[in-house]
Structure 1
Amino acid sequence: MFFTAPSGVGVNELHRRLIKINPNTYQGPISHTTRSQKMGGKNGREYHFVTKEVFAYMVLAICSCDSAYSGHNGHMYGTSLDSAQDVLDNGKICVIDLEPHVGVIYVYQNHTYVFIISLVANNPHFLSNRYIKRYFYEASRTMKAKYRQYFDCVIVTDDLQDSWMDLFTAIQHAQEEPQWIPASWFAPDHL
């Protein structure tokens, strides 16, 4: 299951709640990062710590990083398909936050069976700062217009409690109802 949203609309909180409420069912993969390991940190627990060269190789080789090639404080972060597969191999539903402009198309190009939930800010008035209101509202509108065909569900995050209920309902629906998957994903390559 993938969440895609512009920053600041509650995706991290909803992601954390989902995993916290049922850790036996939902789990996030361990991402890769080029930042240094902090004191008390353990490689493979919070992150897979890699060099910038290894990270660049993973991106170029497409053996790994599927979503957030985002830089933060000069460091790169990304989630590998192998890390997501590790979660699935443990019998859990993998929950990942995607960067809309990179991740959404990537997972579809790689024939990954996904359920993508888009979180959007529909009402700019729920945010306090005028600049932030306009930025998040416009980012949500742009994302929705550009990538809507990839979303299985769109949840408006104007109220966190309502968003949580909408998310829970969407997940139940996804687990109970058959999902559409392109037949070409199951057809032999030579056909």
Structure 2
Amino acid sequence: MNRQGILTVVSGFSGAGKGTLMKALLEKYDYGLSISATTRTPRTGEEDGREYFFLTREHFESMIEQGELIEWAEYVGNYYGTPKKYVEDQLAAGKDVILEIEVQGALHVRELFPDALLLFITPPSAEELKNRLVNRGTESMDKIEERLSRAFEEADCMQQYDYIVVNDELDACVEQLNEIIINEHSRTLRNNSYIEKMSNELKAFKKGDL
């Protein structure tokens, strides 16, 4: 049975540990991480097609006009977006693809890919979220308060996700994510072609046809 890959969209609060979780998942299991396109200049050590597809502003805007991006946004003067063809090619080849983006982008992906699997990553509690942001030691309290305020707004969207995954213990969370994606392949709605094939084959065994 030919297996179509599943597009898994991962979102979560800033400070929930999404980046660490995705890195651990991809190191242990064979998933494809969707590569974003950007107009920003490559940083030292970055390669085109590995960290990002580095594009000119004109090329990026052409992709917007042609509907070639799943989602896109402009941040601090640069465009960032997800090329549709790259994701579709990976899925058609049977590769499960993971796309890590913010909430609004994720809900837009659901519009374009109704079968996408949406996972929301959260810490065990709001207090733990605050502690993780503070312990990173990279931002001022004003910035941390801004992120917590944003998290409050994002919480309203949690019910639109298929699964809520509590990132408490890293290894256990990695296993949970992997199990969710594996089990998703067995859902009835993802096996319509197999169901039709089996039904047609069974017609030969109907009473009187043997």
Aligned residues: 175
Structure 2, unaligned runs of 5 or more: 1-7, 135-140, 192-210
Map of 1:20 onto structure 2: 27
Please report how far the alpha carbon of residue 36 of structure 1 lies from its aligned counterpart in structure 2 after TM superposition.
1.9
Looking at structure 2, the residues matched to 91 and 152 of structure 1 have their Cα atoms a distance apart, in angstroms, of: 21
Looking at secondary structure, tell me which structure has more helix per residue: 2
How has the CA–CA distance of structure 1 residues 169 and 42 changed in structure 2, closer, same or farther, with 3 Å as cutoff?
closer
Q: Distance in 2 between matches of 1:51 and 1:125?
A: 42
Deviation at 1:121, TM superposition (A): 3.4
Aligned partner of 1:184 in structure 2 is none
Structure 1: which 5+ runs fail to align? 182-191
Which structure has the larger Rg over C-alpha atoms? 2
Kept in 2, the 8 Å contact 1:98–1:104? The answer is: yes
The alignment status of 1:91 with 2:94, answered yes or no, reads: yes
Supply the distance in 2 between the matched residues of 1:173 and 1:57 (Cα, whole angstroms): 38
Question: What letter corresponds to residue 60 of structure 2 in structure 1?
Answer: F
Say whether 1:76 aligns with 2:79: yes
CA–CA distance in structure 2, aligned partners of residues 132 and 173 of structure 1: 39
Q: Distance in 1 between matches of 2:64 and 2:98?
A: 20
Q: Distance in 1 between matches of 2:24 and 2:109?
A: 24
SS in 2 for 1:173: helix
Cα distance between partner residues in 2 of 1:115 and 1:108: 8
Task: Name the TM-score, length of structure 2 as normaliser.
Answer: 0.68
Is the counterpart of residue 67 in structure 1 residue 71 in structure 2? yes
Contact 1:67 1:98 in 2 (8 A): no
Identity of aligned residues (%): 22
Alpha-carbon offset, residue 138 of structure 1: 4.7
In structure 1, C-alpha distance between the alignment counterparts of 2:162 and 2:44, rounded to whole Å: 40
Change (3 A) 1:42 1:146: closer
Q: CA RMSD in A?
A: 2.9
For residue 164 of structure 1, what is the aligned residue in structure 2?
174
Task: Sort the Cα spacing of 1:98 and 1:132 in 2 relative to 1 into closer, same or farther, 3 A.
Answer: same
Instruction: Report matched runs for 1:98-109 at 5 Å.
Output: 98-101=101-104, 103-109=105-111
Report which structure shows greater RCO (CA 8 Å, sep ≥6).
Answer: 2
